[in-house]
Amino acid sequence: MVSQKITCIILLVLSTVAILACLIADFEAWIVYAVAIFGIPTWVLSLGLLTMAKPKPEDEEERVKEPFTGY
Amino acid sequence: MNLMANILINVIIAFLAGSLLLGLHRKVMARVQKRPGPPIVQHLIHSLKFFFKETAIPKTVSRVFYIGIVFILALIWIVGVIVGPVAHDSLLILFGVYAVYKIVEHNSGSSSGSPYGKLSCVRAVLSAATELPLFASIVFVYLITGTMNIGEIIAYQSAHGPLIFSIPLAALMFFMLIITKSPYSPFAITKDKALISGFETEHFGFLRGFMLFSESIAWYVMLWVFLTIFFGPLSAVGYLIGMVAISFITGFINAATPLLSPNHSVMTQITIGAICFFGTVLMIFTGVVA
């Protein structure tokens, strides 16, 4: 879980920097497309994995064992 | 305008407009079924709410795949936004985006380890029947306009009039794809309620929110492409009216039509596709289409 958090922070920082760099400077179109295609989903995914609520430690086993909750 | 700013604005518009249109779609369905239904903004609120919901990764899933497939879903529809509204590029890339979407449906179900997801994953293969009419529709657009480039198709239509009047059956084939991808569609065999939420069953909490985010963008992109390649150059108001009208029509159809069984769904899609295909070929050879 700790490694996931660290990975998410690194990805969030990298994608934010890449997107901001493309907003500030004028790169070639293919570079901007590549940053948008990979950067935007990475930004949302890493931010989401950081902000999502986690189950309490005592409930965690129950959550991962019986996951058919749908919503 | 800066290219990245243009992309970001279009992605945000696609998400907001797509969410509201899906909310409208649900509202229309509810009213047809004599229910009050949720507010139109509910789909948008729903998507955002899930970002903060408790999320756990089930033991049965293939972890990297389970998260990665949600990432790929967002990635392909951002490609859709770039190729469509931003760059007016090739229709073939959009066809590729749709083909990868089928793979996402398939793999999202198989990565979950859930029997519902796996059954939905198998049905995703069957539902590829929608891609044949879509491909045929794109081929007819190419035969008439001589190009796959969306910008050039728009230019062709501004000189010769909207393609909906020259190849209406090809437009009908594309419209069938839109019906298929609309929520609660008679052809939505991958999301049959007998399968809970189909390939999305095991993706809950934040990951579901992320999927809803991508699906809102997908709905916007599909409507945008349909309106652009068959109704010619449109203003922002024209797109708005067109998207609301299509969401309204599909909502009405879906509310009034039960979900078909997988074999009936595939046969219906192929039959409608074949009739439209041969009808358009006939129109071309008899000179109805110039």
Q: List chain A residues with CB under 8 Å of B2.
A: 22-23, 26
Please give the single-letter amino acid code of residue B178: I
Look up the domain containing A56 and give its range. 2-65
pLDDT (mean) for B134-143? 86
> Which phi-psi region, left, alpha or beta, contains residue B183 (left: φ > 0; alpha: ψ -120 to 50)?
beta
Whether the complex's predicted ipTM surpasses the cut of 0.95 = no
**Predicted local distance difference test score (pLDDT) of residue B27:** 93
**What totals of helices (H) and strands (E) does chain B contain, helices first?**
12, 0
Q: Is there a domain that residue A70 lies in?
A: no
User: Percent of chain B at pLDDT above 70?
Assistant: 96
Tell me the C-alpha distance between B244 and B20, whole Å. Answer: 10
Terminal-to-terminal C-alpha distance of chain B: 39
Residues of B in contact with A40 (CB under 8 A): 7-8, 11, 74, 78
The answer to whether B21 contacts chain A (CB < 8 Å) is no
Residue A71 lies in a domain: no
pLDDT in tens, B168-226: 888 998 998 898 888 888 887 777 767 666 666 777 778 888 888 998 999 999 999 99
If one counts the domains in chain A, the total is 1
Residue A45 lies in a domain: yes
pLDDT digits (tens, 9 = 90+) for B44-75: 998 888 888 877 777 777 778 888 888 998 99
Q: What share of chain B is helix, strand, coil (3-state, %, to 5)?
A: 80, 0, 20
Task: Classify residue A53: in a domain, yes or no.
Answer: yes
Q: What is the pLDDT of residues A35-62, one digit of tens each?
A: 999 999 999 989 888 887 777 777 766 6
The Cα–Cα gap between B63 and B57 comes to: 7
Strands (E), B125-263: none
User: Amino acid identity of A13?
Assistant: V
Q: Determine the Cα angle at B51 with ends B184 and B202, to 5°.
A: 55
CB atoms closer than 10 angstroms to residue B237: 8
The residue of chain A nearest to residue B76, with distances taken between CA atoms, is: A37
pLDDT in tens, B69-127: 889 989 999 999 999 999 998 888 888 888 888 788 777 777 777 777 777 777 777 77
Q: How far apart are CA B178 and CA B18, in angstroms?
A: 13
Which residue(s) pair with B205 in the sheet? none
